Amino acid sequence: SAQEGVEVRSVAIVTPASRTNQGWDQQGVDNLIRVGEELDVDVEVAENLGYDDITPVLLDLASDDVDLIVCHASGYQTVCPEFAAAEGVPVVVIENPEAIQPGLVADIETQAQEAAYLAGVMAGNETTSGTVGIVVTGQPPTWNFMTVGFAEGLKAARPDARLVYTSVGEGTYDDAAAARQVTDTVLAAGADIVFGMGDGAAFGMIQAIREHNQQSPGQPPVRFIDVIGDKSGNEEAADLLLTSVLFDYTAAYTQMIADLEAGTFGQVYTMDLSNGGVNLLETKLAIRSETTEAVAAARSGIESGAIQVSSVGDAKGVDQRLRELFPT
Amino acid sequence: MALIGGMPQHAGDAERQERRDGELSPDLIRISGVTKIYSGVVANDNIRLGVAPGEVVGLLGENGAGKSTLIAILSGLTAPSRGLIEVGGRSFSPNSPADALREGIATAYQHGALVPTLSVDEQLHLANVEDDDTIRTLLREMDRSRTVRELSVGERQLLEIARAVGRTPRVLLLDEPTSTLEASQVEMLFDVIRQRRSAGRATVFVTHKLGEALAICDRIVVMRRGAVVDELRPTAGNWPAGTEDRLLGAMFGADPGAMTGNAAVTKRRPGAPAGNGSVVLSVGRVVDTGPAARHRPVGVSLTVRAGEIVAIAGIQGQGQRELGKVLAGYRPCRGAVSVNGTALSGKGAREFAGAGVGYLTGDRRGEGIVARMSITANLLLKRQREEGAQRFGILRARAIREAARREIAAWGIRPPDPGRPAGTLSGGNMQKVLLARELVREPVLLVADNPTHGLDVRSQVRVAEALRSVANRGGAVILLTADLDEALRLSDRVAVMNAGRLSPLGPTAAADRAELSRWMAVGW
Amino acid sequence: MVAASVESIRETSPAAMRSRPVLETLVAVVLSIVAGSVVLLITGHDPVEVYRALIERAVLRPAGLEETVVRATPLMITGVAVLIAVRAGIWNIGIDGQVLVAALAAAVAAALVTDAGRPVVWLTATVAGLVAGAAWALPAALLRARFGVNEIVTTIMFNYVALFLTAWLVKGPLRDRSVVSPQTELIPRELRLVSLGDTRTHAGIIVALVLVVLVGWALRRTVAGLELRVVGENPRAAAVALIPVRAYLFGALVVSGAVGGLAGANDILSTKGTFQAEWDPGYGFTAFALVFLARRSAWALVPGALLLGMLAYGADVMPRAAGIDPAFFGVIEGTLLASLAAPVLIRGLLARRTRKEVR
Amino acid sequence: MDLSAIAATVLASAVLASIPLMLAATGEAIGERAGVLNLGIEGTMLLAGLVAFRVALDTDSIVIGLLAGPLVGLVVGTLFGLLVTLARADQVLVGIGLTLAGTGLSGFLFREWYGDQQPLLDTGSGRPLASLADHVPVVGPALFDQHWVVYAAMIGVLLLGPVLTRTRAGLLVRATGEAPFAVDAAGISVWRVRLGATAMAGVLGGLAGAVLVVVELGFFRPGVTAGAGFIAIAVAMLGQHTPLRVAVASLVFGVLQGLGPGLQVAGAPVGSDFPRLLPYLGVVVALLLARHRVALPAALGRPYDRATARQDD
Ligand SMILES: Nc1ncnc2c1ncn2[C@@H]1O[C@H](COP(=O)(O)OP(=O)(O)OP(=O)(O)O)[C@@H](O)[C@H]1O
Ligand SMILES: Nc1ncnc2c1ncn2[C@@H]1O[C@H](COP(=O)(O)OP(=O)(O)OP(=O)(O)O)[C@@H](O)[C@H]1O
Ligand SMILES: [Mg+2]
Ligand SMILES: [Mg+2]
């Protein structure tokens, strides 16, 4: 279709879970609202939509004349392009580069494996027990990318490390109780750093670690690596937050709106280390200077292309890659 | 004098009441103008009745006459549509059985009000019954740690009576309390009632057994179609001659002769092939292998020929019910069973039915009637797959409706409303529904389990006629009954069941009642 | 056995009964609105403003009605599924699992035949859904009919099993490798169910309506329907009436599962087009509410489903319009259901009053 | 790798996780014993959990928080009870309504109160017997390294066993679920017994939510119960409506649930989806084995109506 610039007055975001879920959904919504404020663009939020057919909500948004809809879940990557094609409203999907169409469909690649790699390097340098845990709530592409990135970083930093990978189960992003039980077990296996990927469920992991640390005074405390957001505002969490793989959509969103106005909408926006789309959070916890150096070295290695981090999005691939890296 | 018609009866009633008020202490309960209407059915019609302290009032009437409805109203189960009740001179309108109990009115219900899973002791405790001499006498043969479910039907009935008696109520309402009791137990109950009489406590005794009513009651009230139609009392301690006829007349309407004249119908038709007809049922060394039972039939052998009624008498729970189910294919067994020469060993109820076996269950409400379905549907059941009822699996609604209307008329089912839920029928009418649906199938062998239980005299006769008609048509009947007299009255040959074993089978004409009743109690 | 006893023998005249459902539903709606207003006021929102926005969005925009019908379609189908079981005295709480497994089967099967054209795709997905739904109900049915194991618990358990099993399958063996997120191969729009005119409603609603009519008729007018109801009302009497009770218990649960499966296939063939790992529409409970709302009548499933469908749509679009948390609509929905159950309260109160007055 | 350490943790964590389930299932069992099927425990747990959380935070006291939960449960359970007895509302419909409303209201209020904040409570202290844990291998932590609430809850639930079998209140409850007409005929108000039982079920459901939030997790999240209220219904039946057996069933369920992560961590090549099936399949197998003993109260789910009671007996 012929591309023409439009003035963007309002944008919308649709999310599967609650906008206050302390994770994926919240980060997208918060970032879009920030961009909206900066650019003086209205932001409509439709949250908690699950994975049912969201077309009526998209239609409802379209009837409110939004100029762009951010479909903030990889689970929406088929319904949104279909909708865009039918209604002519531009949409942004996640993790589906195949779907892009000039003027209609753009794609965000939240391939956080590079930042996760750095987190892995950090964990490898900081672990004293040599055992590091990963706890995931389900196995969506975003988590999978990070799992493999983290594992590769860990392996590079500490080849003899042991990695304990556990999944709480399908769709348990907010099942804090189950996450807590799983994390307890990971801690029992001797992990002293836990890389946890979950939304609300992350608090179950944090509680498990807090309690574990309280129960074992005198031992080096277990620390937590978070994803997506910054929980250091929470005092209790801050005490054990080693770092977080931060997602920052603001640049991508700003760029998209600009592209829409310029008539160049419809590309793949990749969030990576170099453009600041993903990053590591600096927290108040003291880390060794060697660790800081190793992470910096890894970062330049990635930026120079000397280090290639695998990009693995599917669950099977994750299992395979982990077995290669950490054979038992 | 049978009182028929509306007005005079009430006038006479009122007169009698006034007269009595003068000579006796004032009534404990006084019912005036009580009417109860159930969606169009007048179950109680302008009832006026008093019960004095120490009095034993018998309440008689055919099935559906409204006896239980009156009991329900007095018990606080249901409110009358119109009318006034006074207890001890004060107006009484109970909201619940609790209210009635507070006023000293306790009831033993026709179908019981026991919790199957509780032990006897727990059941008594639940009902706030003090364990006094009366209770200990009534329940002396009962293992009180057993659950109600494990009791025999008779024991359950005793417990139901004890539950009500144990509250030492001012007024005791007994709704058909003796339907499954043995003679000795009935006598025990009568002792209790006599004690109550001397203590000035009143008893209302609902029954279909005229003899019992005459034996214990100070006054007998007859209900018919919801109304009180007659009231009798003994003169100088004795019931006048012809009382029975008068009672029957009042209960069933103008023609009491219909009740006695039927004797001919229930006896074998002269020239019918009884005794030497072809073998309809042959049973060899049958052992029941069904689910656990108190007594399961073992080693039963039996031959039944066309044209005869074979009665198997036994105290409830001795294995007759199980035997009936075995013979109709509802319980599995070892041994040989054949009907009209077709071997049916190892087959199920459908094959038995296919071979012409009919079955009239002894648990009318539990496994006979589907309470929330219409009379029409209940009449159809068991035949629903037959030619006339369906085509290509689709019910033939009109044919079914017509058949139902026919059978309702033929059997005099009341109320004659095909669409009414069968659960609202009185016991006698339920039994008519079940009988009707067995008999249209023209069974070669009909197994009837306690078919007259709870039925009024006329319905009992109707059932007896139905059984005999099966035999007279060339079929055979197995009559399982707890009532030895009934067994002797209706059968051609009779045997007794005790602890799962069947006694030798002999001609009824030559049977020794005393011996059989001993067999029933202790075996042979 | 838990037997539903919503239908009891009523002492009211039929005429009085007929006029009430509308009144009762209105009262229920008012009650739930009041309950919602209380919550809103306590938390400092303006109820008038919220409800104004709500009506504007749901009633005054034409898309609302279309969407209500779309949402009602699977509810009607699952409602029929629950009804079949309930009428046989069985509690199939496993609709969710049956829907999931059937949807996965339908999606996979349909994707295999996309070259064969529309009718083949429809037929394949439908058959796959029916079979998979039935198969998923099979263990519970066998356990119930053969061993008397309570189906309430087994069907709930099999829901969880279905959730994890389908997730595993769609992340692994059945995944469409051309996309990153775990889902099956997409069935193109052109191959899915046709839309009715220029609307979002699709042929599924016709299937659902036909199903309602068919099942309603079969329950009333066929031998099998009659026998099934007898089994549900009084299994012991059914056995005495020569009805193969176990076969009916088994059959009812399996057929219920198959119909539940149809709802899964319907979703794949209409709105979804693909099975996704995290999709779990959770129709089961709503379907149960629906059946009891409809007082176990087949016909009444239709208005009931439309009402619940409207609420489902409302919960999706209204929060934004009213500026409040979507969770709020749970409050409205919940109180609506509870108060829809309360016509009996009204009736009970009325009955009590008449009783008192007479005396 | 230290398998015994993993096993010890799996067990300890299973014991803790089974407590809310046990409480809720016991409540459900009592309600069902009286003939009331309550599909609304999930909603009750969530509401009570939220309130308990807020109260515990505001008063800085776990105990007061724990008391608030049952109080909410009492209110909700009584409301439910009134609807299904006096109002004769359908139990299934009201139960589903309660779950929907409770889930919605708790989520709504949580956001109203805390926005995008997530306060955390301290769950690490209050373990009187922790020092004994090291003396016993494998099961030590499960037995001794537990919060005092765990012991209190277990004792409380086990005491309910004799209450059901030995006291008049228990007798009334049991009788009402089996034969409400018999209870009515005995002069006891059926609806009062049922109301009492549903109120008690509410109290236990509320306590379950409070324990989950305040003791086990230390925080509330919308939907934090994740279906525990429904599992409780299954466990109540599996436990044959007897507190002791319900407790055992909850414990077994907890252990099976912990087994999944245990296997994963121990390196068994099972993935995450299959072990998660274990507790659910376990329940089915257990039901199959116990089938001869699992009987539902005869009047379960039926509103008591005196007018039709005589036909149903
Ligand atoms: N709950 C009810 N709803 C509708 N009709 C009823 C109800 N209870 C009783 N009836 C009807 O009222 C009439 C009187 O019944 P009732 O049970 O009082 O008779 P009964 O004299 O006790 O008979 P039986 O000797 O068989 O016990 C019958 O026609 C019966 O069908
Ligand atoms: N289990 C029940 N389910 C539904 N409604 C019931 C139940 N039991 C009683 N009711 C109704 O509740 C109301 C009050 O019940 P009931 O008359 O038994 O109270 P009560 O125990 O007699 O109390 P009180 O003596 O204080 O009036 C009546 O309308 C009755 O029909
Ligand atoms: Mg009677
Ligand atoms: Mg009767």
B12 pLDDT more than 70: no
Side-chain-side CA neighbours of B58 within 13 Å: the count stands at 26
The gap from C-alpha A217 to its chain's centroid, in whole angstroms, comes to: 33
The amino acid sitting at B39 is S
d(CA D34, CA D190): 9
Q: Which pLDDT tens digit goes with each residue over A120-174?
A: 999 999 999 999 999 999 888 889 999 999 999 999 999 999 999 998 887 788 8
Interface of C with D in 30-69 (CB under 8 A): 35, 39, 43
pTM above 0.80, yes or no: yes
CB of D110 shorter than 6 A to ligand 2: no
3-state secondary structure B455-477: CCHHHHHHHHHHHHHHHHCCCEE
CB contact under 8 A, A169 and C164: yes
Least Cα separation, residue B91 to chain C (angstroms)? 10
Give dist(CA A175, CA D224) in Å, integer: 6
**Cα C268 vs. chain centroid, distance in angstroms?**
16
Q: Give me ligand 4 centre to Cα B65, in Å.
A: 9
pLDDT for A138: 85
Burial class (CB in 10 A: 0-12, 13-18, 19+), B375: buried
Query: Within its chain, how far is the Cα of B271 from the centroid?
Result: 33
Q: Which residues on chain B are in Cβ contact (under 8 Å) with C11?
A: 38-39
Residue D186 Cβ < 6 Å to ligand 2: no
| Chosen from C65, C96, C166, C181 to mutate, greatest number of chain A CBs within 10 A | C181
Q: Which atom of ligand 2 is nearest to the CA of B98?
A: 22
Q: Using alpha carbons only, what angle is made at residue B435 by residues B431 and B440, rounded to the nearest 5 degrees?
A: 155
* B215 touches B185 (CB < 8 A): no
Distances (CA, A) of C133 to C97, C148, C162: 8, 21, 11
Which stretches within chain C are classed as H helix? Answer: 14-18, 20-42, 47-58, 63-87, 95-112, 118-147, 151-171, 204-221, 223-233, 235-240, 245-267, 283-293, 301-322, 327-340, 343-358
Q: Cβ C152–D284 below 8 Å, yes or no?
A: no
3-state helix, strand, coil in chain B (%, to 5): 40, 25, 40
Q: State pLDDT tens for residues A273-311.
A: 888 888 888 887 888 899 999 999 999 999 898 999 998
The CA distance from C159 to C282, in Å, is 10
Can chain A be said to touch chain D, i.e. do they have 3 or more Cβ pairs within 8 angstroms? yes
B96 lines ligand 2 (CB under 6 A): yes
* Mean of all residue pLDDT scores within chain B: 87
Taking only the tens place, the pLDDT of each residue in B114-140 is 999 999 999 999 999 988 888 999 998
Kindly list the distances between the CA atom of residue B28 and the CA atoms of A309, B95, B218, C332, in Å, as whole numbers in the listed order.
Answer: 98, 19, 15, 55
Contacts of B258 (CB under 8 A, 6+ apart): B252, B458
Q: Flag whether residue D288 sits within 8 Å of chain C, measured between CB atoms.
A: yes
Residue B179, both tokens: 């339907």
A with B: touching (≥3 Cβ pairs within 8 Å): no
Give the residue, out of B75, B93, B96, with the most ligand 2 atoms within 8 A of its beta carbon, to mutate for a pocket test.
B96
Tell me which residue in D43, D88, D108 faces C345 most closely, judged by beta carbons.
D88
> Which residue from B75, B92, B95 has its CB within 8 A of the most atoms of ligand 2, so it is best to mutate?
B95
Distances in Å between the alpha carbon of D204 and those of C292, D34, D68, D100, D216? 27, 15, 12, 19, 16
Q: In B157-308, where do the E strands start and end?
A: 171-175, 202-206, 219-224, 227-232, 279-288, 300-305
Neighbours of chain D (3+ CB pairs under 8 A): A, B, C
Number of C-beta neighbours around residue B211 at 10 A: 10
C-beta separation of A227 from A112 below 8 A: yes
Rounded-to-integer distance, Cα B426 and Cα D182, Å? 20
Compare CB distances from C327 to D107, D284, D303 and report the shortest one's residue. D107
Average pLDDT of chain D? 89
The C-alpha atoms of residue A318 and residue B148 are separated, in whole angstroms, by: 63
Q: pLDDT-based confidence at C113, cuts 50/70/90? A: confident
Q: What is the pLDDT of residues D257-303, one digit of tens each?
A: 888 888 888 877 777 677 788 888 888 888 888 877 778 898 998 88
Q: Do A215 and D272 touch (CB under 8 A)?
A: no
CB atoms near residue A54 (< 10 Å): 26
Q: How far apart are CA A261 and CA A257, in angstroms?
A: 6
Question: Which secondary-structure segment (H or E) carries B358?
Answer: strand B357-360
Judge whether B116 is closer than 8 Å to chain D, CB to CB. yes
Query: Does ligand 1 have an atom closer than 6 angstroms to the CB of B196?
Result: no
Report, as an integer, the average pLDDT of C348-352.
Answer: 51
Does residue D98 carry a pLDDT above 80?
Answer: yes
Pairing state of beta strands B506-507 and B493-498?
antiparallel
d(CA B230, CA B226): 12
Contact yes or no for C119/C127 (Cβ under 8 A): no
Angle at C175 between CA C174 and CA C177, to 5 degrees: 135
Over the stretch C241-276, which tens digit does the pLDDT of each residue have? 999 999 999 999 999 999 999 999 999 998 888 898
Eight-state DSSP code of residue B78: S
Residue nearest to atom 8 of ligand 2 (CA): D191
Distances (CA, A) of C106 to A293, C113, C267, C320: 54, 11, 9, 34
Nearest CA to ligand 1 atom 9: B424
The amino acid at residue A326 is F
**In chain A, what percentage of residues exceed pLDDT 70?**
99
Whether the ω angle into residue B415 lies within 30 degrees of 0, i.e. cis, is yes
- Strand runs labelled E in B233-297: 279-288
**Residues near B72 by Cβ (< 8 Å), separated by ≥ 6?**
B78, D310
Substitution target from D264, D277, D280 for chain A, most A beta carbons within 10 A: D264
Residue D72, chain B, CB below 8 Å: the answer is no
As beta bridge partners, residue A12 has A44, A69
pLDDT attached to residue C344 = 60
C-alpha distance from residue B41 to each of B321, B458, C200, D307 (Å): 35, 21, 53, 15
Q: What is the pLDDT of residue B505?
A: 92
Instruction: Using an 8 Å CB-CB cutoff, list chain C residues near B371.
Output: 233-234
Contact A51 C279 (CB under 8 A): yes
Please write the tens of the pLDDT for every residue from B48-71: 999 999 999 999 988 788 999 999
What's the distance, CA C304 to chain centroid? Answer: 10
CB D160 within 8 A of CB D243: yes
Query: Residue B267: pLDDT band by 50, 70, 90 thresholds?
Result: low
With CB atoms and an 8 Å threshold, state whether D187 touches B98: yes
pLDDT-wise least confident of A107-116, C324-333, D106-115 = C324-333
Whose structure tokens read 């007798």? Answer: D171
Alpha-carbon gap: D265 to the closest alpha carbon of chain A (Å) = 6
Confirm if D197 and D173 have CB atoms less than 8 A apart: yes
Using a 6 Å cutoff on CB, does residue B64 contact ligand 1?
Answer: yes
Contact between C132 and C101 (Cβ < 8 Å): yes
**pLDDT top residue among B180 and B433:** B433
Rounded Cα distance, B47 and C174, in Å: 77
CB–CB contact D287 C153 (8 Å): yes
Lowest mean per-residue pLDDT among B236-240, B472-476, C18-22, C215-219 = C18-22
D173 in reach of chain B (CB within 8 A): no
Contacts with D, C 153-172, CB within 8 Å:
153-154, 156-158, 160-161, 164-165, 167-168, 171
- What pLDDT was estimated at residue D247? 95
pLDDT at D193: 96
Q: DSSP per residue over B149-164, as a string?
A: GGS-HHHHHHHHHHHH
**Can you say whether residue D216 is alpha, beta or left, with left for phi > 0 and alpha for psi between -120 and 50 degrees?**
alpha
* Cβ-nearest to B118 among D175, D189, D310: D175
pLDDT of residue D289: 86
Residues in chain A: 328
Q: How far apart are CA B203 and CA B174, in angstroms?
A: 7
Pick from B111-115, C126-130, D28-32: least confident: B111-115
Distance D191 CA to ligand 2 centre (A): 6
Nearest CA in chain D to A209: D124
- N- to C-terminal Cα separation, chain B: 49
CB pair distance less than 8 Å for C222 and B423? no
- In the structure, do chain C and chain D come into contact, i.e. share 3 or more CB pairs under 8 Å? yes
Q: Which atom of ligand 1 is nearest to the CA of B427?
A: 26
CA B396 vs CA A54, B375, B378, B392, C217: distances in Å: 48, 16, 15, 10, 13
pLDDT for the residue numbered B23:
46
Task: Tell me the per-residue pLDDT of A25-67, one tens digit each, with 9 for 90 and over.
Answer: 889 999 999 999 999 999 999 988 888 888 888 988 998 889 9
Residue B507 is predicted with a pLDDT of: 92
Distance CA C310, CA B258 (A): 67
pLDDT score, position C348? 53
Mean pLDDT (whole number) for B329-336: 94
Contact residues, chain A, for C200 at CB < 8 Å = 55-56, 59
What stretches of D145-302 show up as alpha helix (H) in DSSP?
A: 148-166, 168-178, 180-185, 190-210, 228-238, 243-265, 273-289
Beta carbons of D174 and B365 less than 8 Å apart? no
Residue in chain D nearest A186 by alpha carbon: D265
| Interface touch A138/C181, C-beta < 8 Å | no
Which residue's entry shows tokens 């009230």? Answer: B221
Instruction: Choose one of C347, C350, C352 to mutate for the ligand 2 pocket test, by most ligand atoms within 8 angstroms of C-beta.
Output: C352
Per DSSP, the residues of A72-137 read: -SGGGTTHHHHHHHHH---EEEES-GGG-BTTTEEEEE--THHHHHHHHHHHHHH-SSSEEEEEES
pLDDT at B18: 44
- What is the SS3 assignment for B336? strand
Q: Is C15 in CB contact (< 8 Å) with chain B?
A: no
Ligand 2 mean position, distance from CA D189 (Å): 6
Q: How confident is the model at residue C8 (pLDDT cuts 50, 70, 90)?
A: very low
Closest by CA to D1, choosing from D270, D265, D269, is: D265
Q: What is the band of D1 on the pLDDT scale with cuts at 50, 70, 90?
A: low
CA nearest neighbour of C216 among C203, C205, C235, C229:
C229
- The strand pair at A193-197 and A131-136 is best described as parallel
DSSP state of D145: S
Window 42-101 of D: residues touching A by CB (8 A cutoff) are none
Instruction: Specify the pLDDT at position B1.
Output: 36
CB C99 within 8 A of CB C280: no
Going from the Cα of B432 to the center of ligand 4, the distance in angstroms, rounded, reads 13
pLDDT in tens, B21-42: 444 457 899 999 999 998 778 8
To the nearest whole angstrom, how far is the Cα of C1 from the nearest Cα of chain B?
A: 14
- Smallest CA-to-CA distance from A63 within B463, B203, C67 is with C67
Which among C80, C103, C110 has a CA at the least distance from the CA of C208? C80
Structure tokens at B343: 């071997």
What are the pLDDT digits (tens) for C153-200?
889 889 989 988 898 888 877 877 777 777 888 888 888 887 877 777
